């Protein structure tokens, strides 16, 4: 604790107990922040080479003829890797400044390992390597959750393993057809495959990647990860989201081309609608802030699948494709803001149950604003960045003459917004006496304010946001070499 105070004077929250004080370890989380920062710097250095449509690849013959580790930074994988590093940097600094839970050394190591594995999954240019890194990511997150929520951790392991098996099955069918599992060669090699085979591969890949989009259907483990503060859920919630979204976007025309397979658009449409509406309706009935964050995450996964569904055609409208690409930028910080607000409230009051919270606005305004900003961004409200995604998604659906679907998306967004505002009103504005609230360090307020500013700035500065969306969608639509 003394070490933390020396590095971050007046920034550390008091630890909750003597045991936690003894277990507090700032060093491993600082190491995580350093590694994330280095990854961010390296990624930014590669950005000019990739922004013009280039690719930076590293080949490492791993197992000779069986599969090998081939990493590639392009317009899709590099932004995803940058997002993982940036989110990791934020969260590691948060964990240094806030407090560490028990077993912090192991958890810090597992968080960093999960981050590294997720980077490997988004940068991998060989489907077998994708399966390898996905499995490793699930294993790290299972280890992270196993000590505090063993049953939920088992569900995560099951969903991740089954997802990995489905992706592996799809990759093997591809290999049988094309004699390669490299994402660069596959689109051309698969052109000669029968539509039925392509449809089978696409369905296997989409269903396999689904568990990694917000951990669905094992998403509930996030709310149980660290019941007293949810601080350890921050990285996993965003990691899975970035990894799942990147891999699903890889299926679009121009990348793996699998989205053009028969049945793909319909399957992703059904999954997207179910995810969006299920998440929106369950968010209405959420009685804890952590669970509200869970259902918002499920709903945004549904939005992603809807955007992918409307981009599935090779002649998909530009807005639909941009919405799918921009989702990668907009959703993670919004999800992070909601989890962060939930974590901060639980850490300061000892609970995130809405029944036990009231009148927090005066004591924790930054947490309230972060909850509102993140939740309303996910619901697509202006001037937040999520609005740009919803605008593009809805205009893409209207362009494709699908007004009913556009209306269903808008209605679900309204439901989400009402759920967020209702939770905010109950926890922050209700007139009953507030629960005892521990003092917050300036550090926490600065972090929350910075996150809100990011969500607002990306929404207001629409031209830069659109350029990012174009970068990602160009990378997806570029014909393979």
- Give me the residues that bind another protein (CB under 8 A), please: 61-67, 128, 131-133, 135-136, 139, 150, 154, 157-158, 161-162, 165, 168-169, 172-173, 175-176, 179
Q: Please provide the DSSP assignment of 371-417 as one string.
A: HHHHHHHHTT-TTSHHHHHHHHHHHHHHHTT-HHHHHHHHHHHHHHH
Is there a cis peptide before residue 383, judged by omega within 30 degrees of 0?
Answer: yes
Q: Which is nearer to another protein, 173 or 410 (CB)?
A: 173
- Taking the C-alpha atoms of residue 68 and residue 314, their distance in angstroms, rounded to an integer, is 30
Q: Are 294 and 224 in contact (CB under 8 A)?
A: no
Looking at residue 103, the DSSP 8-state letter turns out to be: T
Q: How far is the CB of 437 from another protein (least distance, A)?
A: 38
Q: Which is nearer to another protein, 46 or 169 (CB)?
A: 169
Distances (CA, A) of 51 to 28, 81, 470: 34, 14, 10
Q: How far is the CB of 80 from another protein (least distance, A)?
A: 20
Phi, psi of 319 (to 5 degrees): -60, -40
Q: How far is the CB of 138 from another protein (least distance, A)?
A: 8
The two three-digit tokens of residue 74, written as one number: 């392009």
Structural element, H or E, at residue 72: strand 69-73
Place of tokens 């970035």: 242
Q: How far is the CB of 71 from another protein (least distance, A)?
A: 15
Q: How far is the CB of 307 from another protein (least distance, A)?
A: 30
Distances (CA, A) of 99 to 1, 22, 102, 139: 9, 11, 10, 25
User: Within 10 A of 4 (CB to CB), how many other CB atoms are there?
Assistant: 21
Is there a cis peptide before residue 217, judged by omega within 30 degrees of 0?
Answer: yes
Q: Which is nearer to another protein, 134 or 471 (CB)?
A: 134
Q: What is the distance of C-alpha 386 from the center of its chain?
A: 14
Q: How far is the CB of 118 from another protein (least distance, A)?
A: 14
- At 182, is the secondary structure helix, strand, or coil? strand
Q: How far is the CB of 59 from another protein (least distance, A)?
A: 14
User: Within 10 A of 179 (CB to CB), how many other CB atoms are there?
Assistant: 9
Place of tokens 């596959």: 186
Q: How far is the CB of 109 from another protein (least distance, A)?
A: 14
Q: How far is the CB of 63 from another protein (least distance, A)?
A: 5
Q: Which is nearer to another protein, 166 or 258 (CB)?
A: 166
Q: Which is nearer to another protein, 158 or 395 (CB)?
A: 158
Q: Which is nearer to another protein, 53 or 59 (CB)?
A: 59
Q: Which is nearer to another protein, 65 or 432 (CB)?
A: 65
Q: How far is the CB of 28 from another protein (least distance, A)?
A: 18
Q: What is the distance of C-alpha 285 from the center of its chain?
A: 23
Q: Are 397 and 468 in contact (CB under 8 A)?
A: no
Q: How many CA atoms lie within 13 A of 144 on its CB side?
A: 30
Looking at residue 231, the DSSP 8-state letter turns out to be: G
Q: Which is nearer to another protein, 132 or 340 (CB)?
A: 132
Q: Quick one: which of 383, 373, 389, 344 has its CA closest to 452?
A: 373
Q: Which is nearer to another protein, 60 or 404 (CB)?
A: 60
Q: How far is the CB of 130 from another protein (least distance, A)?
A: 11
Q: How many residues does the chain have?
A: 481
Q: Which is nearer to another protein, 200 or 312 (CB)?
A: 200
Burial 217-246 (b: 16+ CB within 10 A, else e): ebbbbbbbbbeebbbbbbbbbbbbbbbbbb
Q: Which is nearer to another protein, 157 or 406 (CB)?
A: 157
Q: How far is the CB of 134 from another protein (least distance, A)?
A: 9
Q: Which is nearer to another protein, 90 or 130 (CB)?
A: 130
């Amino acid at each position: 604790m003394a070490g933390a105070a020396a590095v971050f004077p007046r920034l550390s929250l008091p630890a909750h107990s003597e045991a936690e004080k003894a277990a507090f370890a700032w060093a491993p989380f600082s190491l995580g922040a350093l590694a994330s920062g280095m990854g961010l710097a390296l990624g930014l250095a590669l950005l000019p080479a990739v922004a013009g449509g280039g690719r930076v690849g590293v080949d490492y013959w791993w197992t000779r003829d069986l599969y090998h580790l081939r990493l590639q930074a392009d317009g899709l994988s590099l932004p995803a890797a940058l997002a993982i590093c940036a989110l990791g940097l934020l969260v590691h600094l948060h964990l240094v400044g806030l407090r560490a839970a028990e077993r912090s050394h192991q958890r810090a190591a597992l968080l960093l390992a999960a981050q590294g594995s997720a980077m490997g999954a988004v940068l991998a240019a060989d489907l077998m390597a994708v399966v390898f890194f996905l499995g490793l990511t699930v294993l790290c997150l299972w280890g992270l959750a196993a000590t505090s929520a063993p049953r939920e951790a088992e569900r995560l392991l099951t969903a991740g393993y089954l997802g990995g098996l489905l992706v592996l099955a799809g990759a093997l069918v591809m290999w049988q057809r094309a004699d390669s599992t490299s994402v660069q060669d596959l689109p051309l090699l698969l052109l000669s495959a029968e539509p039925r085979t392509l449809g089978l591969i696409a369905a296997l890949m989409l269903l396999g990647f689904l568990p990694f989009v917000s951990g669905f259907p094992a998403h509930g483990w996030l709310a149980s990860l660290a019941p007293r503060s949810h601080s350890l859920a921050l990285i996993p919630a965003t990691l899975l989201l970035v990894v799942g979204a990147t891999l699903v976007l890889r299926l679009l025309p121009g990348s793996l081309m699998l989205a053009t397979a028969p049945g793909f658009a319909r399957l992703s449409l059904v999954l997207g609608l179910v995810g969006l509406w299920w998440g929106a309706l369950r968010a209405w009935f959420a009685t804890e802030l952590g669970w509200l964050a869970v259902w918002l995450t499920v709903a945004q996964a549904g939005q992603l699948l809807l955007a992918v569904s409307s981009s599935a055609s090779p002649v998909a409208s530009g807005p639909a494709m941009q919405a799918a690409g921009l989702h990668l930028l907009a959703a993670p910080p919004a999800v992070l803001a909601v989890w962060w607000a939930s974590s901060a409230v639980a850490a300061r009051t000892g609970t995130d149950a809405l029944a036990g919270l009231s009148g927090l606005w005066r004591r924790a305004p930054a947490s309230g604003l972060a909850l509102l900003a993140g939740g309303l961004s996910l619901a697509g409200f202006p001037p937040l960045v999520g609005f740009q995604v919803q605008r593009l998604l809805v205009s893409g659906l209207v362009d494709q003459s699908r007004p009913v679907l556009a209306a269903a998306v808008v209605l679900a967004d309204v439901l989400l917004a009402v759920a967020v505002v209702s939770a905010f009103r109950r926890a922050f504005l209700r007139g009953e006496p507030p629960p005892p609230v521990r003092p917050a360090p300036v550090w926490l307020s600065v972090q929350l304010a910075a996150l809100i500013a990011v969500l607002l700035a990306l929404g207001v500065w629409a031209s830069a946001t659109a350029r990012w969306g174009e970068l990602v969608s160009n990378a997806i639509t570029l014909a393979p070499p």
